Amino acid sequence: MLSVIDKYRVIDPHNWTNWILKPGYEITVEQTLDERSKEGRELAVEHLKKTAEEKQLQPQDKMFAINKWGFKGPDFPLQKTKTRIICLGDSTTFGSHYDSDCYPRALERVLHNVEVINAGVLGYRVKNMLAMVDYYAQFKPDIALIYLGWNDLFADIKGIKSLYLYKAIKSVVDRIHPQERKFTDHYWNTTEKINYEPSFFEDVIRLAKKLKSNWMEPVFLTLPCLYSTNSTPTEEMLSMGHLPLRSKNAYVFAQMVESYNLWVRRFGELFNVRVIDTAKWAERELDYTWYFDSLHLKHNGQIEMANYIAGYLEIYR
């Protein structure tokens, strides 16, 4: 019997320190709207309703399902009959509740004779994905797209060298009293410079090596972000923010994300690992209306990102 975390996540029966998606789970439009409404997530409800109307979906239509292997999306045979790509990540890979709109499904539509597995799991960090590589290896993916790092950034206190102790203390208080943390309190202060080095990057390197040892080519995606140190966000953009609890300064968050992306680019150059720079693409091509919050792209943004990634996988088009 699986130990339940929530309705569609359960403790990994082979590793009690990790969690997986619940095989066989599915949810309708009506059920999703009801859940988000009870959680008080008004923006999410509004967005989901609008998308349902655009797609002309009925309340009982299925939004997404978890297949028998524990992946979001349709079932597939164990033995592959075509090129297979696995998309590793967190909620940004899991994507839209409307499964057809997440970037792995959109990528599969664009590429020719390619099967794409969505291995995104909400809350996953690099260490979680490391624990799953041996399981993923049985499906013999040819390429592993790695769109991962957000939850590590949110948890990485020791990577920041120049934030004061009171911010670490305040993060504890905010966790105890989360209702006191309001997005409207976010601000943009460019004088607060940080020297950020992602303390979890050794895990990133281990992940790439482990994928290679299991005959998967690792391909990293840099992280698109609503905020950039190159431009000042509007008040509306600040109100959309989803930031680490330790700082309400979106400029601090932008520096962290850009530093991580720089490390990914350098890693790719040094170790001859392919990197698709989705961060630079997003900064160039997308404005704030394509984002749901500071890191999650709306369904149209996920589809456009899939088109951009497909351009780097031209051999399969």
**Structure confidence by residue, pLDDT tens digits, 104-155:** 999 999 998 899 999 999 999 999 999 999 999 999 999 999 999 999 999 9
Shortest CA distance to 186 belongs to which of 113, 283, 252?
A: 252
Q: What are phi and psi of 143, to 5 degrees?
A: -130, 140
**What pTM value is reported for the model?**
0.89
pLDDT for the residue 35: 86
- Mean pLDDT score, 190-218: 96
**Mean of per-residue pLDDT scores for the chain:** 89
Residues written for the chain: 317
Give the number of other CB atoms < 10 A from CB of residue 138.
Answer: 10
> According to the CATH classification, is domain 78-316 in 3.40.50.1110?
yes
Q: Say what the pLDDT of residue 7 is.
A: 84
d(CA 5, CA 183): 27
In the predicted model, is pLDDT for residue 171 greater than 60?
Answer: no
pLDDT in tens, 211-241: 999 999 999 999 999 999 999 999 999 999 8
Exposure string over 231-266, b if 16+ CB within 10 A, otherwise e: eebeeebbebbbbbbbbbbbbbbbbbbbbbbebbbe
Three-state DSSP state, 161: coil
Q: State how far the Cα of 290 lies from the Cα of 308, in Å rounded to an integer.
A: 15
